[in-house]
Amino acid sequence: MSAKNMVFPNIESCNPRLCISGRISRIQRIVSEIFRHELKPYGLSNSQLSILFVVAKREAVMQKEICDILYLEKSSLSRNLTRLFSKNYISKLDNGLVQLTQKGKVHLETVIPAWNRAMVTAREKLGNEGEDALQLVLNNLVN
């Protein structure tokens, strides 16, 4: 039988539109674009801002804790920390803890209004039910 005449039942029965990973990835890209648009003038990526938030709220934190909280791989954290260290937004203490510098605090304070605008836009697109559904999905996956 030639390849042209072969039957491919798995391909025929598969519906990629129902793929959970694909749908979550599309949601992530759409929402990330909202935040990227607002954060671009501040020279921060979504991941870098998330790291700054964790470090700011914890005051001083181990790198492993940041990975655990944000579900980041070590290589992603390392790449983003390098950029944040080079901008002098964070520093490492002698005991290995990471903390926000004064420059990092000032920059984060300046960025938060743009982050708030992105949050408003995302919430408008999601609606209350969509935001509640996201929290439910996250809770189900984490627990």
Q: What is the pLDDT of residue 123?
A: 96
pTM: 0.86
Cα separation of 73 and 64, whole Å? Answer: 10
Q: What confidence tier does 2 reach under pLDDT thresholds 50, 70, 90? A: low
pLDDT over 90 at 6, yes or no: no
Give the domain ranges of the chain.
22-142
What is the arithmetic mean of pLDDT over 43-62? 95
Cα separation of 55 and 42, whole Å? Answer: 18
Cα separation of 105 and 88, whole Å? Answer: 10
Region 22-142: CATH code:
1.10.10.10
More confident residue, 3 or 90: 90
Give me the sheet containing 98-100, strands edge to edge.
60-61, 98-100, 90-92
